[in-house]
Amino acid sequence: MMTYQDFIAEQNVADAIRKAIDQYQTTAEYKTAVDATEYDAQRNVTINGFMRLIYTMQGRTVPDPTVSNNRIASNYFDMLNTQRVAYSLGNGVSFAGARQVQKGGSTVTVDETKDKLGPKFDTDLYNAARFALIHGISYGFWNLDRLYVFKATEFVPLWDEDDGSLRAGIRYWQLSSGKPMTAVLYEEDGYTKYRSRPGSKRELMMVEQKRAYKVQTATTEADGTHIVGYENYGSLPIVPLWGSRKHQSTLVGLRGAIDSYDLIQSGFANDLQDCAQIYWLVGNAMGMNTEDLRGFMDRLKLWHVATYDADNATVTPYTQEIPYAARKEFLTHIRAEMYESFGALDVHTVAAGATNDHIDMAYQAMDDRADDFEYQIIEFIQQILALIGIKDMPVFKRNRVSNLKEQIEAVIMEAPYLDDETILKKLPNITVDEVPDILARRDAEGQNRFGMGNEEENEEDENDQNEEE
């Protein structure tokens, strides 16, 4: 895999980009990311490549046309990764620097950091975190006012050999093998765009010269809007987000269990389809030779009917049952092992009506993995904030099931000792983003009631005064 020092040592930049892409696509990290994309789309690479084979008379292996070849792929890889991301980021992210201000006679919460990150930051961060789990790493490109996410299957990182930091990178894409490839080289002093030459799938040429990340413009009545200068960030505006401290895809630990689960399911379906629930044994059939016996069995499998002409032959019917209990038990065992090793919550293990203490115990493993994952997200967000020039700390509200009634009752018991905003933030059925709007509406309703009360009192005073006169 090419490093940053290897890249800058190359004489021709276009050739170096092509070489970096080719080398990157041979790495184990890239191949794992490609396979993880397939598993995430519920396309099990192992099960799709499985084929039952038979040997011919010449000793060659060919696909067996007489057997079923069902391929049943489970969706556990997507479900487990989605659960981990949604647990930490399903309610978005807020920041510790949020403060309360008076606006229009009411108290509202202002999160200046969140406002500067833009309205789509929660969505972009969610996507970045999800790809970080699936591929092991994702990359966030801060482009002035929004975060853009690059997947590991489309971005070549150029790491520094000395300190391991990301010094440059190449994002590339190609609609199909017959279409031109586009590559963008991101460096600390700007980005340059390349595209494959017409008629050549491998040779790249520059189509846009290096441009700065920030363009300064000025507007006048006489000249309109025009560019007055260019500016870059203090460092590369692309930040890596690791899925865990292991720096590897979650597929690495799950693949064997998922393959076993899918193979057993597929094998069970194949056995049910191939099984002759009622079959016959033919006795005194004048001694079939190997070729006759093979033809007899093929006819029985394909047409479920086979005949043999023989004197004094007997036919005895039998029934056949597929072993079910052992396979079902093993599937249940594998499923439980996947949830436990991943640190996810299997809702089937939580009894209906369980107290919050029991639910908290079920969430313990998930909390531990979420802590590790959120450390990676915190470091990622703080590097993004450093590019903007902001110092703040992200705050997560985990998305978890609970005994809602019990939790609300606990908050109500604490209510006399808490302010309105804290009470709303503690309620499990209210998100952090809803709190400012609720407080604002409550203040507005209070002012309306207060104003109406004063008007009624003034009218009563005027009526009393008129009666006295």
The predicted-structure confidence for 175-228, as pLDDT tens digits, reads as follows 887 788 999 999 999 999 999 987 776 789 999 999 999 877 666 666 666 665
> What integer best gives the mean pLDDT of the chain?
81
The answer to whether residue 445 is domain-embedded is yes
| Domain, as residue range, for 469 | 403-469
Residues 6+ apart with CB under 8 A from 70: 266, 269, 270, 273
Query: Does residue 467 belong to any structural domain of this protein?
Result: yes
**Residue positions counted in the chain:** 469
423 lies in some domain: yes
Quick one: pLDDT at residue 247?
Answer: 93
- Note whether 95 and 113 are within 8 A (CB): yes
pTM score > 0.95 for this model?
no
453 within some domain: yes
SS3 state of residue 442: helix
pLDDT, tens digit (0-9, with 9 covering 90-100), for 76-133: 999 999 999 999 999 899 998 888 777 766 666 788 899 999 999 999 999 999 999 9
Mean pLDDT of 273-287: 59
Split into its structural domains, the chain has a count of: 1
Any domain includes 438 = yes
CB neighbour class for 366 (10 Å; exposed up to 12, middle 13-18, buried from 19): buried
In a domain, 46, yes or no: no
**Are the beta carbons of 16 and 22 closer than 8 angstroms?**
no
Q: 86, 55 in Cβ contact below 8 A? A: no
Residues 6+ apart with CB under 8 A from 273: 68, 70
Give residue-wise pLDDT tens across range 328-369. 888 888 998 899 889 888 877 765 556 666 666 778 888 899
DSSP string, 138-176: EEEEE-SS-EEEEETTSEEEEE-TTT--EEEEEEEE-SS
- Region 166-171: mean pLDDT is 97
The answer to the question of residue 271 being in a domain is: no
